[in-house]
């Protein structure tokens, strides 16, 4: 028997849409949270999920609503808004930024679903947080009367313990033409089982646990085929969300989204080290480290690597917005480039973190040093598929030399 989700959770309700605020206001709120998140970061690591206080602060600040449609009170901002928010929050707590990246990205994706689904998710609580996992090979779904049944076990579902809704990808048996169809599903918290599997080197507070679904029924309007996430005018959500922002391909920008959190972590590492080095004395030399040329060069290079990464992310967001605002869609080469740009920004962030790690010497390894925690976070973050330079760079390079785009999600 399939597991039927309660009608109360899956039916649209009357909409109340408190405004999230402007992009500038959301960035100011993110900046105000940084000292609190820095102080709370060790506790977040210890409990391996976002504290309830952090979850409530994210909802109250509306940071996950930076790309949410204005008709639900969202900011509906320029894509660069997500870079501003995530680099800021990442400088305070890597785990919080990693979860927030999921909440921002999946909020953005839901704008492509039918209006009925959007009403269900945001109708009475537009501050809802949405997690997700987009690995279709790990899920199986089959068409049934009125919808689909979903089964599978999905790893790395970051922020899942704090989310209100969660997105899943799966292959539908006997899709169009008899071939499996890649389709996406929205489930409420409680409709799936969270498995306590996330005991990781870094991003320990991100609660990136495995999730299991066992023949869960999802109504058709809460599902979407992959083709509607590739940009343009075809998605059901375009009937109500007419801003150019929602013509943008979802997967193409996902690398920029994720790397923004990593760049923020690196920025926090550089900031914290500069604070430390001003008062540190070399144990062997007895001299203040702040006067050493070696420290100067490493700090300068790390600073510029972070600035270069942020500039690259912002430039690509600007280019994407210019294309979609002109009524066009990115070409295959541009789609591959923007995905590669996210990976390269992550590479620069990791470079900055390593420069500081080397400069810090033995004192950096102590667990009470915030740089040690942030370094573990960025080592973990850069294992994400969107950060794999050899994969994402190769896709871009092959299109540059005239070969076809080999990533079907783009």
Q: Is 212 in a helix, a strand, or coil? A: strand
pLDDT confidence of 297, banded at 50, 70, 90?
very high
Q: pLDDT at position 241, please?
A: 96
> Average pLDDT of 187-215?
97
Average pLDDT, the chain: 91
Angle at 67 (CA atoms; ends 396, 395), nearest 5 degrees: 10
Domain chopping of the chain, boundaries: 3-122, 130-228, 248-400
Q: pLDDT at position 282, please?
A: 56
The yes or no reply on domain 248-400 and CATH 3.30.70.270 is no
Q: pLDDT at position 364, please?
A: 73
pLDDT confidence of 14, banded at 50, 70, 90?
very low
Q: pLDDT at position 288, please?
A: 54
Q: Indicate if the pLDDT at residue 228 is higher than 80.
A: yes
- The reported pTM is 0.93
Percent of the chain residues past pLDDT 90, beyond the cut:
82
> Average pLDDT of 100-116?
97
Name the nearest CA neighbour of 277 among 261, 305, 300.
300
For the ranges 44-48, 81-85, 89-93, 282-286, which has the lowest average pLDDT? 282-286
Q: Indicate if the pLDDT at residue 255 is higher than 80.
A: yes
- CATH code for the part of the protein at 3-122: 1.10.540.10
pLDDT confidence of 7, banded at 50, 70, 90?
very low
> Average pLDDT of 284-308?
79
Q: Indicate if the pLDDT at residue 145 is higher than 80.
A: yes
Q: Indicate if the pLDDT at residue 232 is higher than 60.
A: yes
Report d(CA 136, CA 101) in Å as an integer.
20
What does the DSSP assignment read for 39-107?
HHHHHHHHHTS--HHHHHHHHHHTGGGTTS-GGGT-----THHHHHHHHHHHTT-HHHHHHHHHHHHHH
Q: Indicate if the pLDDT at residue 343 is higher than 80.
A: yes
pLDDT greater at residue 142 or residue 277: 142
Which residues have C-beta within 8 Å of that of residue 355, sequence separation ≥ 6?
298, 301, 302, 305
130-228 shares the fold of 3-122: no
Q: pLDDT at position 264, please?
A: 98
pLDDT confidence of 6, banded at 50, 70, 90?
very low
Q: Indicate if the pLDDT at residue 2 is higher than 90.
A: no
> Average pLDDT of 254-275?
96
At the top level of CATH, the class of 130-228 is: mainly beta
374-387 confidence digits (pLDDT tens): 999 999 999 999 99
> Average pLDDT of 238-255?
94
Q: Is 174 in a helix, a strand, or coil? A: coil
pLDDT confidence of 104, banded at 50, 70, 90?
very high
50-72 confidence digits (pLDDT tens): 999 999 999 999 999 999 999 99
Q: Indicate if the pLDDT at residue 175 is higher than 90.
A: no
Torsion angle (degrees, nearest 10) of CA 223, 247, 123, 215? 10
> Average pLDDT of 279-283?
56
Q: pLDDT at position 284, please?
A: 41
Q: Which residue has the tokens 């996330």?
A: 198
pLDDT confidence of 287, banded at 50, 70, 90?
low
Instruction: Give the tokens for residue 149.
Output: 């049944």
């Amino acid at each position: 028997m399939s597991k039927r989700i309660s009608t109360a959770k899956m039916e649209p309700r009357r909409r109340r849409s408190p405004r999230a605020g402007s992009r500038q206001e959301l960035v100011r709120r993110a900046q105000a949270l940084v000292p609190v998140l820095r102080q709370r970061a060790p506790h977040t690591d210890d409990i391996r999920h976002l504290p309830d206080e952090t979850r409530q602060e994210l909802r109250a600040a509306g940071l996950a609503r930076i790309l949410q449609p204005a008709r639900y009170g969202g900011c509906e901002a320029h894509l660069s808004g997500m870079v501003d928010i995530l680099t800021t929050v990442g400088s305070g707590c890597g785990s919080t930024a990693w979860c927030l990246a999921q909440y921002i990205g999946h909020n953005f994706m839901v704008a492509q679903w039918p209006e009925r689904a959007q009403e269900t998710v945001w109708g009475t609580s537009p501050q809802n947080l949405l997690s997700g996992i987009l690995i279709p090979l790990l899920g199986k779904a089959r068409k049934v009367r009125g919808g689909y049944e979903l089964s599978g076990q999905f790893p790395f579902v970051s922020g899942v313990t704090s989310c209100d809704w969660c997105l899943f990808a799966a292959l539908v048996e006997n899709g169009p033409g008899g071939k499996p169809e890649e389709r996406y599903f929205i489930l409420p918290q409680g409709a799936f089982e969270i498995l306590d599997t996330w005991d990781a080197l870094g991003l320990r507070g991100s609660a990136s646990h495995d999730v299991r679904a066992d023949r869960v029924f999802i109504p058709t309007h809460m599902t979407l085929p992959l083709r509607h996430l590739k940009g343009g005018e075809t998605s059901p959500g375009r009937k109500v969300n007419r801003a150019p922002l929602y013509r943008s391909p979802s997967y193409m920008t996902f690398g920029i989204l994720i790397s923004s959190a990593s760049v923020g972590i690196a920025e926090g590492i550089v900031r914290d080290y500069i604070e430390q080095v001003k008062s540190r004395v070399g144990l062997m030399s007895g001299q203040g480290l702040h006067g050493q040329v070696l420290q100067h060069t490493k700090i300068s290079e790390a600073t510029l690597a972070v600035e270069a990464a942020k500039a690259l992310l912002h430039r690509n967001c600007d280019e994407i917005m210019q294309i979609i605002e002109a009524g066009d869609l990115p070409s295959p080469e541009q789609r591959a480039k923007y995905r590669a740009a996210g990976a390269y920004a992550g590479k620069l962030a990791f470079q900055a973190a390593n420069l500081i790690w080397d400069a810090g010497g033995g004192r950096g390894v102590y667990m009470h040093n915030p740089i040690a925690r942030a370094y573990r976070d960025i080592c973990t973050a850069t294992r994400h598929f969107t950060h794999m330079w050899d994969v994402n760079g190769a896709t871009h390079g092959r299109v540059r030399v005239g070969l076809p785009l080999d990533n079907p999600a783009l």
